[in-house]
Amino acid sequence: MPFRLYERIGARTVSYGYKLPDGSWAFRLSAPVGDAVARTRIRAEAIDRANVLNGAPVEGGATEALFRRYFAWQQGLPASSEDRKADSTLRENEKHEAPRLIKVFGKMKPAVIKPVHIYKYLDLRAAEGAPAKANKEIALLSAVLEFGRRKGELETNPCRDIKYNKTRPDTRYVTPAELDLVMRTARERGGMYLVGALCLRAAYLTVSRPDEMRKITRQAITELGMEMPVGKRKKGRAERFKLIEWSDELRAVIKEALSLQRTTSLYVFGNSDGQPYTTSGWNTNLRRLMVHAEKKANEEDVPFQRFTLKDMRPAAVTDRVEEGDEKITNATGHSSDRMVRQVYDRRKTKSARATE
């Protein structure tokens, strides 16, 4: 076993843990004693993670192995480390981007990957209709190969200076009528549908990103309003917060969301167990809600297109800019209005006065 990695086999579970010099655990993995597949998997993962923490070189040099060690390195970093990605990002990377990349590059040695291979991958994925997804996948590959460069597996990162696929900016604007239709549909069905719809409404009212909203806790509720962390920040900068002052509607939405929680959940929009929805769980429920809303729109013969939680932020920005809000960056959490104007303002017609 690698240095500082401990194996414990109990009557019901087997566990592997890496103990840091200060006596705390860097990680602990466990599986049922009777589940041979799970035991084999966690043992291999624990050894990979321990080797990374011990500074062991990448075995065999295969890119697939480098992916495993990259994620082990990321998960072993302190939560406060500026090099560590968000947990939600790592989960998405491991579940969605990494498997596709490993199918193509997994058996290659990192040092033999060239820019031409990267461009072929980008072109292939674009031809499949996923240019933006390809860009995200190559961004992960670049991070993995940069980790390999750190460990001496290659001299240069072939992803550097790569020109990513050009993509069309998102122009989806959710109208107030569409959001109201979803709210009415959710109230008719109740349960998880209503929790989701209230989260959509709250995201619109607070001009918030999906992760900011899905994981908002009761601690954000203050006398003055909702004090929320700004989801994205540049490395080296302290965490920032925004305060969205109470309106009658925002207060009502939060109150109703809390009343739907079956437990005294820490989260305002928690699931039936009082925990925040996973990205996949949230998306599944929202898709079902949108299907019901679409049927209702057809019955009422009104225009409607499905939308997601991330569409609430640009909808809110568009409406507020149209109303003349000059402090929109206070609501979005941006330091300047450049990103707000370029990305979130979805107005098709912008009015202005005549020169004279």
Q: 10 Å Cβ neighbour count for 138?
A: 21
Give the model confidence (pLDDT) of 194-246 as tens digits: 999 999 999 999 988 888 888 899 999 999 999 988 765 555 556 678 888 99
First-to-final CA distance of the chain: 80
Position with higher pLDDT, 226 vs 87 = 226
Position with higher pLDDT, 168 vs 303 = 303
Q: Are 28 and 8 in contact (CB under 8 A)?
A: no
pLDDT at 188: 94
pLDDT at 343: 60
Q: Are 110 and 70 in contact (CB under 8 A)?
A: no
Position with higher pLDDT, 187 vs 109 = 187
Q: What is the mean pLDDT of the chain?
A: 85
User: Confidence band (pLDDT; 50, 70, 90) for 301?
Assistant: very high
User: Confidence band (pLDDT; 50, 70, 90) for 171?
Assistant: confident
Q: Are 321 and 313 in contact (CB under 8 A)?
A: no
User: Confidence band (pLDDT; 50, 70, 90) for 56?
Assistant: low
Per mean pLDDT, which of 155-159, 209-213, 314-318 is the most reliable? 155-159
Q: What residue type is assigned to position 87 of the chain? A: D
pLDDT at 50: 79
List b or e across 291-305, with b for residues whose CB sees 16 or more CB atoms inside 10 angstroms.
Answer: eebbebbeeeeeebe
pLDDT at 273: 84
pLDDT at 30 > cutoff 50:
yes
At residue 14's C-alpha, the angle toward residues 11 and 16, to 5°, is: 150
pLDDT at 259: 92
User: Confidence band (pLDDT; 50, 70, 90) for 349?
Assistant: low
Task: Output the six-digit token pair for 258.
Answer: 């809390």
Euclidean distance between CA atoms 186 and 289, whole angstroms: 7
pLDDT at 46 > cutoff 90:
no
pLDDT at 48: 72
Burial of 15 (0-12, 13-18, 19+ CB in 10 A): middle
User: Confidence band (pLDDT; 50, 70, 90) for 325?
Assistant: low
Residue among 283, 222, 270, 228 nearest 92 (CA):
283
The alpha carbon of 285 is separated from its chain's Cα centroid by a whole number of angstroms, namely 17
Give the model confidence (pLDDT) of 15-28 as tens digits: 999 888 888 888 88
Position with higher pLDDT, 110 vs 52 = 110
Q: What residue type is assigned to position 137 of the chain? A: E
Domains present along the chain, CATH in parentheses? 5-150 (1.10.150), 176-344 (1.10.443.10)
Euclidean distance between CA atoms 204 and 173, whole angstroms: 12
Residue whose structure tokens are 């009761």: 218
The alpha carbon of 73 is separated from its chain's Cα centroid by a whole number of angstroms, namely 19
**List of residues 6+ apart from 161 with CB closer than 8 A:** 115
% the chain with pLDDT above 70: 86
pLDDT at 75: 85
pLDDT at 60: 45
Q: 10 Å Cβ neighbour count for 129?
A: 7
**List of residues 6+ apart from 18 with CB closer than 8 A:** 4, 5, 6, 25, 26, 27, 28, 46, 49, 50, 53, 76
